[in-house]
Amino acid sequence: MQLPLFPLRICLLPGGYTQLRIFEPRYQRLVSESLTHNAGFGLCMLSDDGKQVLTFGTHCYITDFERLQDGMLGITVRGEQRFIINSMTTENDGLRRGTVSLLPQWPATRLPEIDVRLGDTLRELLKQLPAQLQHYNNSDFMDLSWLCQRWLEIIPVSAKDKQTCIAADDHHRALEFIRTLFQE
């Protein structure tokens, strides 16, 4: 599968939402192509020094767009499926395209009693971010895989640590990593 790539310093995983401000011509083209062909694009993380596009990303679709007060384009995107970049090219205007392989979703897993704090804390944090909470009102805060993905999106840790968790076949590596953060 070929996808235009949008490398950023943020993490977005399946089931997650984020809002982006689009101002560079190459990314305006990415948005136009994504909307015209309903093919989405790949959002992938940059290394901590911002010099390298990291291997794992998420196939995203635009769910809403608007012209912002400053004249820029604002888009809301939803993460759909993880992928790994097999190869990448850069076009004349700097837009990157990747040949990617889609990866299976993390299996849904019921939240055990020991981890209820993870769900409760995330729900409280999202209440402080009404723009984000609107997307998660009907979400399953009892699905441990879903919770781990949301925590990976918001915790301020290195891109390398996040990529290690994202590369896994299920939520277990992410859960152990998040538990260590909660214990500190």
Q: Is 94 left (phi over 0), alpha (psi -120 to 50) or beta?
A: left
Strand partners, 59: 42, 81
Contact, 18 vs 134, CB < 8 A? no
H-helix or E-strand containing 29? Answer: helix 25-37
H-helix or E-strand containing 12? Answer: none
Q: What tens digit of pLDDT does each residue of 130-155 get? A: 666 667 766 677 888 998 999 899 88
Of 8-12, 43-47, 64-68, 79-83, which gets the smallest average pLDDT? Answer: 64-68
Encoded tokens for 104? 């299976």
0.85 exceeded by pTM: yes
Q: Report the candidate in 12, 4, 6 with the shortest Cα–Cα distance to residue 33.
A: 4
